[in-house]
Structure 1
Amino acid sequence: MTTDVADPPAALQVPRTRGGGSTLGRYILIRFLLIFPTVLILVTLVFFLIRLTGDPITAALGGRLPADQLAERIREAGYDRPIWIQYFEYLGQVFTLNFGTTLTDNQPVVQVILDYGTATLELVVYALVVAFIVGIPLGLVAAALRDRWPDALLRVSAILFYATPVFFAGMVAKLVFGVWLGWLPISGRANVRTELAIGRDGGTGIYLIDAIATGNPAYVQDVLLHAVLPALTLGLLTAGIFLRLVRTNVIGTYNMPYIDAARSRGVGEGRLVRTHAYRPALIPIITVIGLQIALMLGGAVLTETTFEWKGLGFQLAAYLSARDFVAVQGIVAMIAIIVALTNFVVDILAAFIDPRVRY
């Protein structure tokens, strides 16, 4: 029986075994249950690392309040109780999504997350788009031209993308494209006029959606121009990883029997890469997206600070500077939950794309 080269490789086909549905169900259940110990470990680490600095009230307000008022605030907040009681009380709050109240501006941490989280979400989406647009095509080019000078140049570029500190790349981008060339804005999410227009009716907090809703192309253009430099700075970090992953996995598929069969039928190398080696190379990309989301959320702190992008990372840096560890603890705990949920979704997607991961 002749193998059809258009068929996916056998390793990517679903094994015809009984109980496949139950196997997938068990896989999803196990991955879902792993969310809880992951969040628990991260929240515990953050809690005790914060407590190494002492109680949050003394850290934030020490030296600004008289000793008797400071002691009263500590007692009211319960920070004079044994550490293990504070720990279990905080765990109970976290699992009800109550992260406390900030010390510097007296806001519920959940409200801070809701107010500024949309800006960070928008930035991460932009950065992922940049990573896909840059990393995947260049990875395919590097694989097609393997062991030639363009391949070596692209591999070096991937290392530079990943190794360059985000804040340094951001400052260089601002200097070159904003100051010297004057092509792009270097701070904020939009100019004042656009912000007033898109925020007039409340909006979603995602500036691109709100700008599109106004029906004014000038506002959409302004929002996108402000997003270019932050998105490139953060997106190229992940693009380097995608480039190397795609290159490595496309080259690996050249040793598969179905590739040899296609080549023997006269299929060109370019078509081999685009048609037959491309899909298997995407599977590792899907599986590492969860890790890249965590990397981007960490990089968002520096990116948002560099470009004055008023998101969750920008606020986290401000609270760290003010030593408001209640806010810091709550924001980091929420980020841990987001990362755990993202990894869960990515694992499920990977199980549907590549059935081997659940067998």
Structure 2
Amino acid sequence: MPSRPSKSPGGGLGRYILVRALLIIPTVFILVTLVFVLMRTTGDPITAALGGRLPADQLQERITEAGYDRPLIVQYLEYLGQIFTGDFGTTITDNRPVTEVLLTYGLATLELVFYSLIVAFVIGIPFGMIAAYFRDKGQDAVLRVFAILAYATPVFFAGLLLKLVFAVWLKVLPVAGRASTGPEIQMEVLPNNTGIYTIDAIMTGDPAVLADVLAHAVLPSIALGLLTAGVFLRLVRTNVIGTLSTDYVDAARSRGVSEYRLVRKHAYRPALIPIITVMGLQIALLLGGAVLTETTFEWKGLGFQLAEYLQARDFVAVQGIVALLAVIVALTNFIVDIIAALIDPRVRY
């Protein structure tokens, strides 16, 4: 009787990638639809932003000009068509294309999220391994409490504490902004070709400018990174402990391998797999936390702009920013899923 052909790993990976790629479409569609419906629950965006500030005839004229007096389904279909062409509308308060706002401030938020992930890795992974090494001892208890506090502490409160200690009391780090505007470091020296200040500072060739930009990124990155560091710490601890109880680790232990070497050599890599699998969710968490972090530190990114547009009730701008963040989260989850499938073939099936 002929044997059944074995399942091709490449084919399994290919199907997995295809399925995950196709899932992006309904995910983004549902998120964009929810944002549109929620933004319309308050009425048309013109009245929400300018009601009471314009005469009734001018208000109605602007509503008609923008097409907000048409049936909701027509507006929705038109909005979907605009998104597919990269048109997210025009802001009501400052009459700017939402796409311009996204391009101007989006890279600043991505820069902050990148630094926050570095903080989360630097704190979460080593502390998680230390907690696993000292399982059920004093060090483990302290680190577990730290993980809970890091995750549970509101981002804005952590930011205010960091500003109080390092900017007000110790005066070693700047209190707000992305770069200095005083006589020592002038913003005009940044070519601002990319929108990412770190790259722009490197392009100047001046170490003082780069040091100034990095110093401004320290406190907001720590405030936002602690949110994810607590998650990483607990994940690493749990998975390192689980790996240390496997048969092959017991065999290595019976050969006289030290516990430190077992943690560093045998349990380290398996503990990283769950971190990669939850990375997409953590990106979403960081993007959400960026709103409060950027507002606290006056970091001029999408979160800062989103807070300002919310205060102004400019729901066209809010709708565009949230839609873009939804697309970023969906694409990030897709990339993370592919990386996880490459590292651990069991994920594909």
**Which residue in 2 is equivalent to 1:56?**
45
Question: What number of residue pairs does the alignment pair up?
Answer: 342
d(CA) in 2 for partners of 1:171 and 1:256? 44
* CA positional deviation for 1:59: 0.5
Determine if the alignment matches structure 1 residue 294 to structure 2 residue 279. no
Secondary structure (helix, strand or coil) at the match of 1:34 reads helix
CA distance in 1, matches of 2:348, 2:115: 31
Q: Report deviation, 1:152.
A: 0.3
1:154 counterpart residue number: 143
Name the CA distance, whole Å, in 2 between partners of 1:237 and 1:343: 19
Amino acid in structure 1 at the alignment position of 2:239: N
Structure 1, gaps ≥5 residues long: 1-15
Contact residue 234 and residue 303 of structure 1 kept, 8 A: yes
- What amino acid is aligned across from residue 149 of structure 1 in structure 2? G
Which of 311, 321, 328 matches 1:321?
311
TM-score normalized with structure 1 length:
0.94
**1:211 Cα deviation from its structure 2 partner:** 0.8
1:198-213 correspondence to structure 2 within 5 Å: 198-199=190-191, 202-213=192-203
Matches within 5 A, 1:74-113: 74-113=63-102
Q: Deviations over 1:291-328 (max 9, x none)?
A: 00000000000000000000110001011111100000
Q: Could you tell me how far apart the structure 2 residues matched to 1:276 and 1:17 are? A: 30
Instruction: Return the offset for 1:254.
Output: 1.6
User: Partners in 1 of 2:311 and 2:70 — Cα distance?
Assistant: 26
TM-score normalised by length of structure 2: 0.96
How big is the shift at 1:257?
1.2
1:158-204 deviation per Cα after TM superposition (whole angstroms, max 9, x unaligned): 000000000111111111111111111010001023421113xx421
Match of 1:44 among 28, 33, 36: 33
DSSP 3-state at the match of 2:178: coil
CA distance in 1 between partners of 2:26 and 2:249 (Å): 42
Consecutive unaligned residues in structure 2, runs of 5 or more: none
Residues 166 and 299 of structure 1 are in contact (CA less than 8 Å); yes or no, is this contact kept in structure 2?
yes
Q: SS state of the match for residue 278, structure 2?
A: helix
Shift in Å at residue 290 of structure 1? 0.6
Flag the structure with more relative contact order, 1 or 2, with Cα contacts below 8 A and sequence separation at least 6. Answer: 1
CA distance in 2, matches of 1:345, 1:262: 35
The one-letter amino acid paired with 1:37 is P
RMSD: 1.0
**How far 1:89 moved relative to its partner?**
1.2
- Residues 116-154 of structure 1: per-residue CA shift (max 9 Å, x gap): 011101100000000000000000000000000100000
Amino acid at match of 2:301: G
Q: Given residue 352 of structure 1, which amino acid in structure 2 is its aligned partner?
A: L
Q: Percent identity?
A: 73
Q: Which residue is 2:130 aligned to?
A: 141
| Cα distance in 1 for residues equivalent to 2:227 and 2:56 | 47
Q: State the one-letter code of the partner of 1:150.
A: Q
Alignment correspondent of 2:62: 73
Separation of aligned partners in 1, 2:328 and 2:303: 14
Q: 1: CA distance between counterparts of 2:53 and 2:294?
A: 29
Matched residues in 2 for 1:358 and 1:17: separation? 15
SS at match of 1:283: helix
Q: Deviations over 1:71-105 (max 9, x none)?
A: 11111111111111111111111122210000111
